[in-house]
Amino acid sequence: MPIVVNLDVMLAKRKMTLTELSDRMGITIANMSILKSGKAKAIRFSTLEEICRILECQPGDILEYMDQGSYAKLMMR
Amino acid sequence: MKLSWRNISIIAMVIAIACTLYFVMIMFSLDRAVSMSVSFNSGTSMIIDQPQGREADTAFGGIFQHSNIDMTMPAYQYVRIDDSIKQVVEYAKGLRDYETGDAWSFGKFGVKYSEAPAIHSSREAARSRVTDSAIERLSAIDNDLRLTSQQRKMKRDSVNLAINRILKKTDDSLRKVDENGTYYITLEGYSLNPPTEYYVSDGKYWLATVKWDSTTNRNNGAVQYGHYVRKPIGVKFRPKEKTILVPVSKASYRFWDVTMRYAMFVLIFIALYITIGLPIHIIISISRGDAFTPANIRRLTILAVYLFLSWIAGVLGPYIVRALLGDTIPAEFKQKHIVEAVLEDVFPLLAGVGLFLLSRAFKKGYKLQQEQALTI
């Protein structure tokens, strides 16, 4: 899917683990893993708002659009 | 659950199609009734020469004979003669059948074995001997006062068991030596339109069809003149059961008998699993909260396909068989119009369509469920 979730990049910048983020957000680690791995089909605005509040970033820092070719290259890596 | 306009329009279309089919079926049956009365009212009539007098007794197997009664005859003699003539005519027309043997069918297809008359006589003679012996033994048991009621019952049961075993052994051994039996494939759903008649004569099968000689126009309508001609055919007909019997070889009979028996068991098993087992699976999974699963979608699709295929086989099967048999079945034998056959048995089709639509709905539900599950 051409929308890429760069959650791990922001977590690294804020020196936070996925477990900490999921604890602070009240979402299970399984769902956070789904989001981080790019398998999620949709994200609620409320969830995106909470992530941006905790990681002190903008939605554009978390979500990035890629064209199909670049996305395929990324997945192959 | 809120229905979208698209779903409502689909449901409305299905209901409209069902109602249209129903009214078309009524229209067909009305059409036939109206056309018959129109032909009467317009005065078109038919005059067909039939054999008369002594010729009627033998021509066309005697199906046109009738009792010319001497009115001075006592009533009981008249009734006896009339009855015997009726029996002869009914036998010639295939309305009476003195053959013995086996027959069974699966839907509109079946097999029949008619044993040779000599075998039938031997069987009856053997049965008579066994029955007489059985009566003697059973009487002896009943008259033996030393036996208790339980002992008497046990002895009677063992005698009856022995008799049945002997009769079955006799039947099987006679069947094995029956070289002159006749074997048939039976096909239901055929009829003859009047004035064509079927009859049996000299052990062969015939059709009495009308050859039209002339038509005269009168003031009150047309009059057609014709006479009967006979035509040999290769199949036997039973008018009461509307069944055609196609003679086949013993090997063919055995092949179809065995094939149909195995096919029947397999099809019954499949039908029971699909119509009972699959719905139970679906209900169990829904009760567990797993309604929209690929397995349920597959089960609903299988149910829909099964209903549709069984409808096709049941409705179109006889027409396909006739097409395969070609000229074996004379053209004078008519089947129900295919549209009429389709409309008469339309429920499995509608049920199949309904279940197919339901499976598509479940598929959409599964997709929405997956999206919901993967929405963070």
Q: Which residue has the higher pLDDT, B348 or B89?
A: B348
d(CA B198, CA B330): 11
* Distance of alpha carbon B159 from alpha carbon B164, whole angstroms: 9
* pLDDT over 50 at B38, yes or no: no
Nearest to B371 among A31, A32, A41 (CB): A41
| pLDDT grade for B359, boundaries at 50, 70 and 90 | very high
Residue B104 has pLDDT above 90, yes or no: no
Answer whether A43 sits within 8 Å of B376, measured CB to CB: yes
Q: Which of A32, A40, A47 sits opposite B374 (nearest CB)?
A: A40
B256, amino acid identity: W
How far is residue B337's CA from residue B55's CA, in Å, rounded to a whole number?
37
Average pLDDT over chain B, rounded to whole?
A: 81
Predicted ipTM > 0.95? no
pLDDT digits (tens, 9 = 90+) for A33-46: 999 888 888 899 99
Q: In this model, does residue B36 exceed pLDDT 60? A: no
Q: What band does B276 get if pLDDT is binned at 50, 70 and 90? A: very high
Distances from the Cα of B183 to the Cαs of B77, B111, B117, B149, B374, in angstroms?
40, 8, 14, 48, 66
CA dihedral (B262, B266, B272, B274) in degrees, to 10, reads -160
The alpha carbon of residue A42 is apart from the nearest alpha carbon of chain B, in Å, by 4
This prediction has a pTM of 0.65
The rounded Cα B4 to chain-centroid distance in angstroms is: 46
A63: which chain B residues are within 8 Å (Cβ-Cβ)? none
Q: Please state which of the ranges B74-78, B115-119, B330-334 shows the lowest mean pLDDT.
A: B115-119
- A27–B375: do the CB atoms touch at under 8 Å? no
Is 70 exceeded by the pLDDT of residue B57?
A: no
Q: Are B39 and B218 in contact (CB under 8 A)?
A: no
Please, which residues have CB within 8 angstroms of residue B310's CB and are 6 or more apart in sequence? Answer: B271, B348
Query: Residue B119 is encoded by which pair of tokens?
Result: 């075998």
In this structure, the strands spanning B333-335 and B243-248 are unpaired
Tens digits of per-residue pLDDT, B284-341?
999 999 899 999 999 999 999 999 998 888 888 888 888 888 888 888 898 888 888 8
Torsion sign across C-alpha atoms B163, B165, B171, B177: negative
Classify B282 as helix, strand or coil. Answer: helix
Identify the contact set of chain B against chain A, taking CB-CB distances under 8 A. Answer: 370-371, 374-376
Please tell me the distance from the alpha carbon of residue B366 to that of residue B368, in angstroms, as a whole number: 5
Tell me the pLDDT band of B66, cut-offs 50, 70 and 90.
low
